[in-house]
Amino acid sequence: MDVSTLDPAADEGGADRPLAAPAISEVASGGTPDASAETNDALALSLSLWPQRLDTGWQCLSTPPHAYASPADLPAQGWLPAQVPGTVAGARRAAGLLDFDHPPPFAFDDHWYRLTLTGTGRRRLRFHGLATLAEVWLDGVKRLDSESMFVAHDLDIELNGHATLALCFRFLTPALAAKRSRARWRPRLVSPPTLRNVRTTLLGHMPGWCPPIQPAGPWRPIELLGDAPHAFDTIDLTSRLEHEDGVVSLTLRFVHPHDATACRATFSCGDHLASLRWDDAHTLSGEVRVPDAQRWWPHTHGEPALYPLTLQLEDGRVSAHALGSIGFRRIEVERGEDGLGFALRVNDVPVFCRGACWTSADLVTLTGTEAQLRNAFELARAAGMNMLRVGGTMLYESDLFYALADEYGLLIWQDFALANFDYPIDAAFSTLIESEASQFLARTRRFASLAVLCGGSEVEQQAAMFGLSEAKRVQPLFTELLPALVARERADVPYVSNSPSGGVWPFSTNEGITHYYGVGAYQRPLDDARRARVRFAAECLAFANIPDDATLHDVLGTIHTHDPRWKAAVPRDPGAGWDFDDVRDHYLQTLYGIEPARLRYEDPARYLALSRAVVAELMGTVFAEWRRAGSTCGGGLVWQLQDLRAGAGWGLIDATGRPKSALHGLAHALQPLQVTFTDEGLNGLDIHLINERAQTFCGELELVCLRDGSVKVMSARRAVELAPRSMACLSAAECLGQFFDFTHAYRFGPRPHDVTIATLRDAASGAIVSEAFHLPEPRLQERHDLGMTISVEPRHAADGTPYGWQLAIETKRFARFVHIVDPHYRAARDWFHLAPNQACVVPLIPLAPGFAIGELVAPASNPRFKADETFAAPAGEVHAINATSAIFYG
């Protein structure tokens, strides 16, 4: 498989693989797995120890603000079925009543939820998140008020048969008008600006790029605890490294008191076991040591090793309870020789962090399904990403999100949910922040993937841009409260006050952490990526990335870039006289020499193709610069990973979960084993070889220059050996051993070649592991018949069973940005350059599994597909931007 293939099926677990998160299994002492009755009884008992999720049976009702003071006054009609966790928008969508583009202002109405509880005895209700100003009523009596969607609450109750639980989510207007400390600046990003007073996500409140789906409802789980005598209350897990050993600490609290002399408990991590002690009648604690523990690594640098955790209780019978998994790693910040940089070292190894900024798997529910999350994580990992940033404009993600990051080997940069504002300084607001931050840190303490904790997004930048001096823009929230909490709760995770921060201006590119939009919104030339001397770009490279035609047709309903439906989805900065279509068009003209308006008018399909190609080129070129040997850059995170709505948004993945050309462009530059070019002008081409793996790489480097896309005018070969965790820089002139104007900088006569190709092959197998291409003249010239041939072939599982399709593509001339269009499939590898006379195999991934009857049946050995799933024979076309026409297959 090519290293830049975006093929989730390459991960044998697939989208349906169960998550390695807390699950329950129990076999009675002395029994066997086949002892059905006894085992089922034990399993039922084990399940009762965990909190009961109150997911179903809910109803919701939206009303005008303060129309009803208590649930006793509510009407009998108008209620909708509702899922919990969920939102009012989610309930309306399920009922077919949500206009995504023109939703009602959910935050400015009241919303009621109700559920009938049954049972007898003492119980504990746990609300993991209520958005946003919420009341909890039981049998007509208000029992709880909540002021933050990020704070969890416990409520002890007594059940006597049946009870009605009611939740009311009040409108925000009074809170927005509350008198608090005066803001020294008001960002244009958020509407209304007094949202600074309310602890809610900014999603739904950012005109210009986020649809106005405002959060309202029980967006996090609601649980009922306390039925069984051994019912679990909280489970606190931490891991640490002590020299070469891993140590896991467990503190387990039960809802009910226990007789410590009658219950023995042990705790295991993998094959290693330790006894637990009773701290009091409610609390078990202890540690287990794992000698010479395997490290958890970001997947680009090793295996994200995780150890299974099991609790065993002995109280007249033996019960075993799976507690998920945990990893061991060490993360530190590297500031560079001058002390002004920012980079991460994981397990004492420098890691170039690359990835994207997370938005949400589903803006309506604010959660998304496991399948949606896995799709995003699989695409990110296949593209060579190793970090995702959850920014301050978003929210704290679910436990499932962080558990998947552990599993997939993706580092998480987590902002606290604070962005842009001059926040209130009163004690009540600080108490809310302390509660939400402490709870978040406690519930994510077990996750190895959490790599950076950041006070907030663009707060210092906003203050500086409004002219405040350094002394006046300091907020104790970021310099005192949050760092103290991080030191107490997660001292193993580095903390930074803000993103961006560092430098004379907190957004300087050459110190600390920056948000780099030089190449992008500021329309700087490509060489600005080097001139800016970026140390770490926590945001970068925002473009209006166009989805494939399938998404445009199926979801947006138009491919015309001046259609109102198109423009509604294109992000823009509030108050700006331009949008991000204009930014992309700027580079289309300066890089390719194309007049965008004229091309859009004369040949809209060609305009879309070149617009997709140019962002792929920009992404790959900038990251090749930042990853080169000698670069001061420690990482870059593209803004954003996934669109919140269908259209030409910032996302590398569209709103349907399909990758865009921009993601494919990144995939060709972000792999752990990589060859890249940088254009050094009069000094020719530099070839950069990167090996982030723990093993030595032995291979061969081939350098070829072609004229007319097929005539070899220069070639060279040399053996290369890359030590583990190393990179090397070679001059193309050194490889050739004689003068050749690789970059056409000297211009002694006509340009002698069209493209230079560097191919890195494995010495043992001869397989291509990475390729790099350099065009001395990127402007588009005439188009040609490339002599392209395409054959459709079956894909085979490891046991030889056919289970899908792939394309074998070959050309006689160099093909620029090959793109595959198929109504039923997407290409695992797309928007790539193809050298002549070199067969390229591209797996095809069904857009909708099981959509038609075909000739091949998926094998049971591949868990991504169901055993009876069939796939239609592909029929589509292959394009290249330098080809005279598309080539059809099927």
Quick: pLDDT tens for 864-878.
444 445 567 899 999
* pLDDT at residue number 775: 97
Q: Are 134 and 219 in contact (CB under 8 A)?
A: no
pLDDT digits (tens, 9 = 90+) for 320-370: 999 999 999 999 999 999 999 999 999 999 999 999 999 999 999 998 899
Residue 588 belongs to a domain: no
Over 60: is that where the pLDDT of 564 sits? Answer: yes
User: Both 809 and 717 in a single domain?
Assistant: no
Residue 468, judged by CB atoms within 10 A of its CB (0-12, 13-18, 19+), counts as middle
Radius of gyration of the chain (CA): 29
Same domain, 749 and 879: no
User: Per this entry, what is the length of the chain?
Assistant: 890
Phi, psi dihedral angles at 808 (to 5 degrees): -110, 115
Q: Would you tell me how many other CB atoms lie within 10 Å of the CB of residue 173?
A: 13
660: in domain = no
> Are 169 and 447 contacting, i.e. CB atoms less than 8 angstroms apart?
no
* Per-residue confidence band for 707, with pLDDT thresholds at 50, 70 and 90: very high
Examine the domain organization and report whether 74 and 172 are in the same domain: yes
Quote the percentage of the chain above a pLDDT of 70: 92
Same domain, 208 and 344: no
Taking the complete model, does pTM exceed 0.85, yes or no? yes
How confident is the model at residue 32, as a pLDDT? 32
Question: Taking residues 595-600, what's their average pLDDT?
Answer: 95
Please indicate, yes or no, whether residues 743 and 806 belong to a single structural domain of this protein. Answer: no
Q: What is the mean pLDDT of residues 849-872?
A: 42
CA distance 258 to 499: 47
Burial of 315 (0-12, 13-18, 19+ CB in 10 A): middle
Residue 554 reports pLDDT greater than 70:
yes
The per-residue pLDDT for 3 is: 47
* Residue 614 counted as domain residue: no
Continuous segment of H or E residues that includes residue 395: none
Of the candidates 718, 742, 774, which is a domain's last residue?
774
User: Which residue's structure tokens are 């494919």?
Assistant: 664
At 230 the three-state DSSP class reads coil
Of the ranges 200-214, 532-546, 788-802, which one carries the lowest mean pLDDT score? 788-802
Calculate the average pLDDT of the chain.
90
At 13 the pLDDT is 34
- For residue 419, is it within any domain? yes
pLDDT one-digit tens code per residue, 52-72: 999 999 999 999 999 999 999
Q: Is the pLDDT of residue 853 over 60?
A: no
**Kind and range of the H or E element at 331?**
strand 331-334
pLDDT, residue 634, reads 98
> Which pLDDT belongs to residue 848?
66
Same domain, 827 and 730: no
* pLDDT single digits (tens) 656-675: 999 999 999 999 999 999 99
CATH number at residue 833: 2.60.40
445 burial via Cβ count (<10 Å: 0-12, 13-18, 19+): middle
In a domain, 849, yes or no: yes
| Cα 619 to Cα 668: distance, rounded to the nearest angstrom | 9
Is residue 504 within 8 A of residue 608, CB to CB? The reply is no
More confident residue, 24 or 403: 403
Angle between helices 604-627 and 580-592 (to 10 degrees): 80
CB–CB of 701/720 below 8 Å? yes
Model confidence at 317: pLDDT above 70: yes
Does any domain span residue 268?
A: yes
Q: What does the pLDDT look like over 626-636, one tens digit per residue? A: 999 999 999 99
DSSP labels for 441-470? HHHTTT-TTEEEEES-BSHHHHHHHTT--T
Task: Say whether both 94 and 211 belong to one domain.
Answer: yes
> What pLDDT is recorded for position 871?
66
Strands 411-415 and 450-454 turn out to be: parallel
| Mean pLDDT, residues 682-686 | 95
**C-alpha span between 397 and 406 (Å, rounded):** 14
The confidence band for 43, taking pLDDT boundaries of 50, 70 and 90, is very low
In a shared domain, residues 193 and 80 = yes
CB-CB contact of 453 with 491 (8 Å): no
pLDDT tens-digit readout, 483-517: 999 999 999 999 999 999 998 888 899 999 999 99
* pLDDT above 60: residue 39: no
Q: Report the domain count for the chain.
A: 5
Q: Is the pLDDT of residue 16 over 70?
A: no
Q: What is the DSSP string of 865-880?
A: S-TT-EEPPP-EEEEE
Q: Report the percentage of the chain scoring pLDDT > 90.
A: 79
Q: How far is CA 355 from CA 6, 376, 524, 635, in A?
A: 14, 12, 22, 8
Kindly provide the residue ranges of all beta strands, DSSP E only, lying in 255-306, ordered along the sequence: 264-269, 272-275, 277-280, 283-290
Give the pLDDT confidence score for residue 558 in this predicted structure: 76
Query: Are both 420 and 344 inside the same structural domain?
Result: no
DSSP states of 304-329: B--EEEEEEEESSSEEEEEEEEE---
* Residues 490 and 411 occupy one common structural domain: yes
- In a domain, residue 587? The reply is no
- C-alpha 277/C-alpha 284 separation (Å) is 6
Q: Of 471, 498, 525, which residue sits at a domain end?
A: 498
Give the lowest-confidence range in 42-46, 49-53, 213-217, 819-823.
42-46
Q: Do 741 and 814 belong together in one domain?
A: no
pLDDT digit string (tens) for 756-802? 999 999 999 999 999 999 999 999 888 999 999 999 999 888 888 87
Q: What is the distance between the alpha carbons of residues 890 and 874, in angstroms, rounded to a whole number?
A: 6
CA separation for the pair 726, 185 (Å, rounded): 46
What is the pLDDT at residue 873? Answer: 86
Phi first, then psi: give them for residue 123, nearest 5 degrees: -140, 165
Which residue has tokens 């504990």? 124
Does residue 162 form part of some domain?
yes
Of 389, 301, 390, the residue nearest 352 (C-alpha): 301
Strands 277-280 and 283-290: antiparallel
- Tens digits of residue pLDDT in 138-166: 999 999 999 999 999 999 999 999 999 99
User: In this structure, are 191 and 131 located in the same domain?
Assistant: yes
| Dihedral (CA of 340, 344, 350, 352) sign | negative
- Residue 271 is which amino acid? D
Q: Is the pLDDT of residue 11 over 60?
A: no
- pLDDT band (50, 70, 90) for residue 409: very high
What residues are paired with 168 via a beta bridge? 112, 135
Residue 23 has pLDDT above 50, yes or no: no
Distance CA 286, CA 284 (A): 7
Which pLDDT value is given to residue 352? 98
pLDDT band at 859 (very low <50, low <70, confident <90, very high): very low
Mean predicted confidence (pLDDT) in 286-298: 98
Residue 77: pLDDT over 60: yes
CATH number at residue 240: 2.60.40.10
* pLDDT score for 749: 86
Which of 611, 610, 626, 620 is CA-nearest to residue 665?
620
Q: Which of 204, 225, 246 is the last residue of a domain?
A: 225
Asked whether the predicted pLDDT for residue 860 surpasses 50, the reply is no
CB 584 within 8 A of CB 568: no
> Is the confidence at residue 48, as pLDDT, over 80?
no
Q: What range does the domain containing 397 cover?
A: 392-498
CA 450 – CA 492 distance, rounded (Å): 9
Residue predicted with more confidence, 412 or 740: 412
